[in-house]
């Protein structure tokens, strides 16, 4: 239901490009970058660290997507997009300690749709100070809501190709059923450089605060292996540590950390193009400028400030010296 609602919002925003009464209010673009997973598996050391402290470069993956952005005011924008996000984690990368002995790994391909509000904090209209006003810099912050689909996979062999890995959700490795759908609150900030009015290049940081702890299929306690299928039991407990510590990795012992959800941190590079369409006000001004005969326009469509106007005409003539000019819309 949430995914459908976000999709409808995205389509509505796209349709605004044909209905807006101001030029340069809408832009479409794409973005790509890197992702860092923040959860129970893998990390930088023996114990997990909060926020960005557990990101490991070796586990960096890719993200890419498309988006449409609509300007509500000179400082406020609504941005909606569809993204692909890949995350992975492997306890082997911790190097030592309980997480290394636990010896679990996962991968997850996430498909997200989001809507967020962007607010311009600081802007330089003439970047470089040359008086040409052809390049500008805009620094902004954002916050929004998103819905996503995910499906974690795992393997007994870290060297096996991903296509041979096994879907973990149907196995219920902790004896718990969870949903493939989730919601999150993306927030962050970045900058945009606009050149030549139409083209925008930028970079932004995106912290995806999720409300599920099962992006990696780990959250609570080790399940009793007798209640699991043989395949699920093998994937749930792959202990590879000293014998004297094995009791801490048995049924009923802590397997994850249910007090913290699995989050994602992303760094993206963006490109977008402003959609410039000649609107009704433009046509009204054009008519008045060239003094089109009244019989070719409707008086009711051009009244003071309203300028509502749906002008329907094929062509008109304007005398300039001895030449005849034709303008077509």
Tens-digit pLDDT profile for residues 35-72 = 999 888 877 665 665 567 677 888 899 999 999 999 89
Quick one: what percent of the chain has pLDDT higher than 90? 50
For residue 238, the model assigns a pLDDT of 92
Residue with token string 């997009």: 81
For residue 268, give the nearest of 152, 197, 186 by alpha carbon: 186
Residue 287: band (very low, low, confident or very high) from pLDDT cuts 50, 70, 90: low
- Given a cut of 80, whether residue 230 has pLDDT beyond it is yes
Q: Which residue has the higher pLDDT, 311 or 215?
A: 215
Structure tokens at 287: 């008519």
Tens-digit pLDDT profile for residues 75-103 = 999 999 999 999 999 998 888 888 889 99
Q: Which residue has the higher pLDDT, 325 or 264?
A: 264
For residue 258, the model assigns a pLDDT of 86
HEC letters along the chain? CHHHHHHHHHHHHHHHHHCCCCCCCEEEEEEEEEEEEECCCCCCCCCCCCHHHHCCHHHCEEEEEEEEEEECCCCEEEEEEEEEEEEEEEHHHHCCCHHHHHCCEEEEEEEEEEEEEEEEEEEECCCCCCCCCCEEEEEEEEEEEEEEECCCEECCCCCCCHHHCEECHHHCCCCCCCCCEEEEEEEEEEEEEEECCCEEEEEEEEEEEECCCCCCCCCCECCCHHHCCHHHHHHHCCCCCCHHHHHHHCCCCECCCCCCCCEEEEEEEEEEEEECCCCHHHHHHHHHHCCCCHHHCCHHHCCCCCCCCCCCCCCEEEEECCEEEEECC
| This prediction's pTM | 0.77
Phi-psi sector, 184: left (phi>0), alpha (psi -120 to 50), beta: beta
Tens-digit pLDDT profile for residues 140-194 = 999 999 999 999 999 998 888 888 899 999 999 999 999 999 999 999 999 999 8
- Average pLDDT of the residues in 296-324: 45
Domain 2-275, what fold?
A: Porin (2.40.160)
Q: Which residue has the higher pLDDT, 274 or 315?
A: 274
For residue 306, the model assigns a pLDDT of 43
Sequence spans of domains, the chain? 2-275, 281-327
């Amino acid at each position: 239901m949430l995914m459908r609602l976000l999709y409808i919002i995205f389509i509505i925003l796209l349709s605004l490009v044909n209905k807006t009464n101001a030029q340069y209010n809408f832009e479409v673009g794409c973005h790509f970058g890197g992702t860092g997973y923040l959860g129970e598996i893998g990390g930088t050391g023996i114990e997990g660290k909060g926020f960005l402290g557990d990101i490991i470069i070796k586990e960096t993956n890719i993200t890419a997507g498309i988006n449409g952005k609509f300007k509500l005011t000179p400082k406020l924008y609504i941005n909606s997009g569809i993204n692909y996000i890949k995350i992975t984690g492997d306890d082997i990368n911790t190097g030592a300690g309980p997480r290394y002995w636990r010896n679990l790994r996962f991968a997850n391909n996430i498909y997200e749709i989001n809507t967020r509000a962007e607010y311009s904090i600081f802007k330089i209209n003439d970047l470089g100070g040359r008086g040409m006003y052809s390049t500008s810099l805009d620094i902004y912050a954002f916050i929004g809501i998103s819905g996503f689909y995910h499906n974690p996979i795992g393997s007994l062999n870290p060297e096996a190709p991903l296509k041979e890995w096994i879907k973990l959700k149907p196995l219920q490795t902790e004896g718990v059923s969870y949903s493939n759908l989730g919601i999150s609150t993306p927030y962050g900030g970045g900058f945009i450089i606009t050149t030549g009015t139409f083209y925008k290049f930028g970079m932004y940081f995106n912290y995806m605060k999720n409300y599920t702890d099962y992006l990696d299929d780990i959250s609570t306690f080790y399940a009793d292996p007798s209640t699991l299928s043989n395949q699920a039991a093998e994937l749930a407990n792959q202990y590879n540590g000293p014998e004297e510590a094995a009791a801490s990795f048995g049924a009923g012992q802590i397997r994850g950390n249910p007090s913290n959800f699995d989050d994602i941190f992303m760094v993206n590079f963006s490109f977008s193009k402003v959609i410039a369409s000649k609107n009704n006000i433009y046509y009204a001004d054009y008519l008045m400028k060239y003094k089109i005969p009244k019989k070719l326009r409707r008086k009711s469509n051009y009244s003071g400030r309203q300028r509502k106007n749906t002008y329907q005409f094929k062509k008109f003539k304007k005398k300039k010296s001895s030449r005849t000019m034709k303008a077509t819309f």
